[in-house]
Structure 1
């Protein structure tokens, strides 16, 4: 619905990508994000070409429970991380570049 506020838009977090591997169609990303001074590790598969950009993000059950105990919906947090990965709002180690 146009004009509707998404619940993950107001989640403040910082995403760090440590490593990428892959090719022209898909890449595996390894990193972490900071949410309320807590660190959460993730792995993700970033898809590029067919159907546009998309990210499949993986969080452990333990991480999802920790997020839930913080009073947040883990699904909304995952969507916020995915959006930052798709839009390139990430911090990379010096010398690491994401493929366009």
Structure 2
């Protein structure tokens, strides 16, 4: 069964920790006037599961997050535009 996501778009993110904290949500109408934005895909528990940075219609980077049952970050898969994949694993202790 394929997971369903709620997709929202933003102008930026704040902080340096993972998962990224997307800020300044933009409407679909305003999206047409933007060359650079972040697309967040949220799971049924409203956790950011996929984050894309879109630059002139191309994906510049992609983050995929998975979580422990208690909601803490378990893993981040980060791919850059050169298709280099970085895997970060978190131990659950916070």
Which band: TM-score by shorter chain? under 0.3
Normalising by structure 1, report the TM-score: 0.27
Q: Which has the higher strand share?
A: 2
Q: Which has the higher helix share?
A: 1
Q: Whose RCO is larger (CA < 8 A, sep 6+)?
A: 1
